[in-house]
Amino acid sequence: MSTRLNGIGMTSQRTRARMIERLREQGVKDEAVLAAMFEVPRHLFVDEALASRAYDDVSLPINFNQTISQPYIVARMTEILRNGKPLNRVLEIGTGCGYQAAVLAQVAKDVYTVERIQPLYERARRQLRDLKMRNVSVRYADGTAGLPELAPFDGIIMACAAPTLSAVLREQLAVGGRMVLPVGMQEQWLYLVERDERGFRETRLEPVKFVPLLMGKA
């Protein structure tokens, strides 16, 4: 693996390993998720000026009033989505810089991710291609509609806060599937939506802070 991927100093594998230990202390138990978090070079998904903070447990700006989520939230949401089981087809709403999609690519067979801001879409697509993550498809589209032509999905994850639980997106869940998303405006909570033969079950999990879900392409 190249120095660029491995990182040096504050982006080194030793720093990455400390992030994994912190995630364990914060309660992340899924070894597949922890391995994915170690594998993906988060410092390549942030601006070079912020690379030294890439493995801190903080969200960081990625331009266009968007952020890369803190490692704990990425790991936590991925762990909830997986629920200890292999994932086949996953949909992500809000690609941003592509980091969450890169983590999902380690634990799912196919990842489809949608971004509405064209420069972010182009940057994420380029970065994921450079990292040879061939099981990720990045789409430039309005994420509020999901990708009905590719549904159903085993898992749906949202990296932006919806004002309410999306009926459109939950209908794109496969039976046995899970959707993890932040909901709310001033006060946001992480929700889990599960679908079985009888319908949908919703569970409120923990308070979070995300940028809002917006409609249309930009």
The highest-level CATH class for domain 63-208 is alpha beta
Residue 51 reports pLDDT greater than 50: yes
Are 181 and 193 contacting, i.e. CB atoms less than 8 angstroms apart? yes
Active site residue 69: yes
Residue 213 CB neighbours (<10 A): 20
Lowest mean pLDDT among 8-17, 19-28, 55-64, 86-95: 8-17
Please name the residue that has the structure tokens 């120095």. 3
pLDDT value at residue 65: 73
Q: What is the DSSP string of 6-38?
A: H--GGGSHHHHHHHHHHHHHTT---HHHHHHHH
pLDDT in tens, 98-137: 999 999 999 999 999 999 999 999 999 999 999 999 999 9
Q: What is the pLDDT of residues 141-178, one digit of tens each?
A: 988 899 999 999 999 999 889 889 989 999 999 999 99
If one compares 8 and 155, the residue with the highest pLDDT of the two is: 155
Confidence at residue 1, expressed as pLDDT on a 0 to 100 scale: 40
- pLDDT score, position 14: 87
CA atoms 16, 88, 151, 207: torsion sign? negative
The active-site residue out of 2, 52, 59, 69 is 69
This prediction has a pTM of 0.91
* Strand blocks (E) in the chain: 60-61, 67-68, 87-93, 108-115, 136-140, 153-158, 173-183, 188-196, 199-208
Helix, strand, or coil here: 178?
strand
Whole-number percent of the chain with pLDDT over 90:
74
Q: How far apart are CA 46 and CA 67, in angstroms?
A: 9
Where residue 4 falls among pLDDT bands split at 50, 70, 90? low
Residue the block writes with tokens 């919703």: 202
- Average pLDDT score, the chain: 91
Q: Which of 51-65, 66-80, 113-127 has the lowest mean pLDDT?
A: 51-65
Amino acid making up residue 11:
T
